[in-house]
């Protein structure tokens, strides 16, 4: 075709140049050549188009094959990824629970569990099939979450799906972070983690993801660790205390609790009659012994017991402030007593079982000491001229083995009182003890003496001795001074114990205001009363000048408790005013007079 076309171009060229003469026949030949040229060009153009179409079709076929291959590979990869995710969901030890709204006819808007939940979720919920079920029926109803909290969860989930993620964050606080699931195998403690699943195209929440983790064993380990740490802390505290002193603490605590229990049992018998009129004396007695027990436990830094006793005191305070007995607080008080007993049991376990200390009341005495005492007594008995003074010394030495001197007994309680001072932000006071003779306390009176001493010194530290800055401003030392003096009365029938401090003294104005507020006296009566008469109002039951109720003061069991304890043993207590250190503050001595039958010399 290209040959004919070229021949046609050549003839036209020769004709145009005049090489070939013009003529009709020649002109027709030229036209025929041009026409042939056009036909040939058309064929060539058509061939070109066919070649391009063939190439394009081939390219499309190749692309289609590539796309099909890519799609097949992608489907294989998606299936592999899905299998991998499903495998993870089937084996992961997490309860993965996607929450979404149902799109089934008749169930639109209800919340269901998504099909892509973990297998472990089925184990936790003890349900083989969970997909499409209501989570509030198959899961939340079996937990310890209250009905009100479940309602809040429902509202939060429904309100978040289809909304901006901010809506979820604003209501996140309504979603619990832990719960206990009730199952046939026992309770399971679960941690709960909530998060929104956001649609990337619409930026709204499609679903809520709840991830549950069984932390039962972890919690058990944590409890064991805490128990171990608590035991170690108790051991470190108890081991620092002399075993004889600590055994004495346990003995006294047992006695106090027995007294509380016996009185409380009587109170329980009357608890069904809310109109009983004689409940206050029993409550008052329980109250006083509780206060003493708290002081004792603080002395030995047994904070677990002192905290439990403080809660029991609070119940008694409510009874005392009421005109009618509330029997519903019986169970509350019983719970407090259970905690007190539990703490004392733990102290005993640590002391006797862990530390291996003896449970008996035997004393350890060096053999040589006994032999020497026997030789001394034997020699004196064989001598015609008995040296009574020498025999008295031996007897005194023996008494020291099983009786405690007043100074020793008081010194044992000072450490705990120092701790109270530090907790109040005050410096530890200086204690000064003076006695004109060696006086022992009989075992049956030890508890009572500890009671009055602890209460009295607590009052001095809490109410009497000022804060360091106040003392320094008044020209005193930063730490207070407490003086304890003991001696025998002139007739020898009473043991006298005096306590005084260098604090602010008795504040007459506050005592007067409290007495008026309690209705103990009128303004007219108060105006005629001497300072000594005003001070004696302190002994009225429930009287306290403390501004605030705390575990240190303000419970009104101070001087009333001290007076009743002493009176029960045939003694008396007096507040002896010395002088006024201001217009309304009086220094004083707290004097106890105790029958000598409770002592030994």
What are the sequence ranges of the domains in the chain?
Answer: 2-86, 92-214, 235-354, 363-399, 403-600
Average the pLDDT over each of 41-50, 63-72, 77-86, 99-108 and give the range with the smallest value.
Answer: 77-86
Q: Are 188 and 180 in contact (CB under 8 A)?
A: yes
Q: Which residues contact residue 553 at a Cβ distance below 8 angstroms, ignoring those fewer than 6 apart? A: 458, 462, 463, 544, 546
Query: What band does 244 get if pLDDT is binned at 50, 70 and 90?
Result: confident
The pLDDT score that the predictor gives to residue 554 is 45
Distance separating alpha carbons of residues 52 and 146, to the nearest angstrom: 76
Q: Examine domains 92-214 and 403-600 and report if their fold is the same.
A: no
The two tokens of residue 340 are: 């007190």
- What CATH code would you report for 403-600? 3.30.565.10
Contacts of residue 276, defined as CB under 8 A and 6 or more positions apart, other chains included, come to: 270, 325
Phi, psi angles (nearest 5°) of residue 229: -60, -40
Helix (H, G, I), strand (E, B) or coil at 141: helix
- pLDDT above 70 (res 91): no
pLDDT at 193: 92
Q: What is the pLDDT of residue 21?
A: 60
Judge whether 495 and 571 are in contact, CB under 8 Å: no
d(CA 93, CA 122): 11
This prediction's pTM: 0.50
CATH topology classification for 235-354: 1.20.120
The mean pLDDT value for 70-94 works out to 64
Confidence check: pLDDT of 224 > 80: yes
417 closest CA partner among 448, 453, 442: 453
Q: Per CATH, which fold does 92-214 belong to?
A: Beta-Lactamase (3.30.450)
- Number of Cβ atoms within 10 Å of the Cβ of 161: 21
pLDDT, tens digit (0-9, with 9 covering 90-100), for 328-380: 888 889 889 999 999 999 998 888 888 887 765 555 566 676 667 766 666 66
pLDDT tens-place string over residues 555-573: 445 688 788 888 888 999 9
Mean pLDDT computed over every residue of the chain: 80
């Amino acid at each position: 075709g290209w040959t004919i076309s070229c021949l046609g171009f050549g003839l036209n060229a020769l004709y145009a140049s005049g090489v070939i003469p013009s003529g009709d026949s020649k002109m027709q030949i030229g036209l025929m050549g041009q026409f042939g040229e056009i036909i040939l060009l058309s064929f060539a153009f058509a061939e070109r188009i066919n070649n391009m179409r063939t190439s394009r079709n081939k390219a499309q076929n190749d692309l289609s094959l590539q796309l099909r291959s890519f799609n097949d590979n992608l489907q294989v990869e998606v299936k592999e990824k899905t299998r991998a995710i499903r495998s993870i969901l089937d084996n992961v030890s997490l309860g993965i629970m996607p929450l979404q709204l149902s799109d089934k006819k008749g169930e639109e808007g209800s919340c269901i569990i998504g099909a892509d939940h973990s297998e472990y979720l089925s184990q936790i919920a003890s349900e083989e099939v969970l997909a499409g079920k209501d989570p509030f029926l198959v899961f939340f109803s079996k937990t310890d979450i209250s009905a009100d909290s479940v309602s809040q969860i429902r509202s939060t989930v429904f309100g978040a799906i289809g909304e901006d993620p901010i809506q979820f964050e604003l209501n996140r606080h309504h979603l619990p972070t832990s719960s206990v699931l009730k199952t046939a195998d026992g309770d399971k403690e679960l941690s709960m983690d909530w998060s929104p699943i956001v649609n990337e195209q619409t930026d709204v929440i499609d679903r809520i993801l709840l991830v549950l983790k069984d932390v039962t064993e972890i919690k058990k380990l944590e409890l064991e660790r805490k128990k171990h740490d608590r035991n170690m802390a108790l051991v470190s505290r108890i081991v620092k205390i002399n075993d004889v002193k600590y055994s004495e603490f346990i003995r006294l605590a047992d006695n106090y609790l027995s007294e509380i229990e016996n009185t409380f049992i009587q109170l329980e018998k009357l608890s069904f009659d809310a109109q009983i009129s004689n409940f206050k004396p029993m409550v008052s007695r329980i109250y006083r012994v509780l206060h003493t027990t708290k002081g004792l436990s603080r002395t030995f830094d047994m904070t677990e017991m002192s905290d439990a006793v403080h809660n029991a005191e609070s119940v008694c305070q409510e009874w005392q402030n009421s005109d009618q007995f509330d029997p519903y607080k019986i169970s509350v008080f019983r719970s407090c007593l259970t905690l007190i007993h539990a703490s004392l049991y733990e102290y005993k376990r640590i002391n006797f079982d862990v530390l291996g200390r003896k449970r008996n009341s035997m004393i350890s005495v060096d053999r040589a000491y006994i032999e020497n005492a026997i030789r001394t007594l034997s020699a004196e008995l064989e001598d015609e001229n008995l040296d009574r003074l020498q025999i008295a010394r031996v007897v005194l030495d023996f008494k020291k083995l099983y009786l405690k001197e007043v100074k020793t007994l008081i010194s044992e309680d000072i450490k705990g009182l120092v701790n109270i001072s530090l907790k109040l932000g005050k410096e530890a006071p200086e204690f000064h003890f003076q006695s004109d003779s060696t006086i022992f306390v009989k075992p049956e009176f030890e508890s009572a003496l500890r009671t009055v001493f602890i209460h009295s010194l607590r009052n001095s530290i809490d109410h009497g001795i000022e804060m360091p800055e106040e003392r320094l401003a008044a020209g005193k030392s930063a730490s207070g001074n407490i003086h304890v003096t003991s001696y025998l009365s002139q007739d020898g029938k009473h043991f006298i114990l005096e306590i005084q401090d260098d604090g602010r003294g008795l504040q007459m104005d506050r005592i007067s205001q409290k007495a008026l507020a309690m209705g103990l006296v009128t303004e007219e009566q108060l105006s005629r009363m001497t300072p000594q008469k005003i001070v004696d109002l302190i002994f009225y039951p429930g009287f306290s000048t403390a501004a605030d109720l705390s575990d240190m003061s303000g419970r009104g069991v101070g001087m009333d408790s001290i007076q009743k304890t002493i009176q029960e043993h045939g003694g008396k207590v007096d507040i002896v005013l010395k002088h006024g250190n201001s217009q309304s503050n009086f220094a004083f001595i707290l004097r106890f007079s105790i029958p000598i039958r409770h002592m030994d010399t």
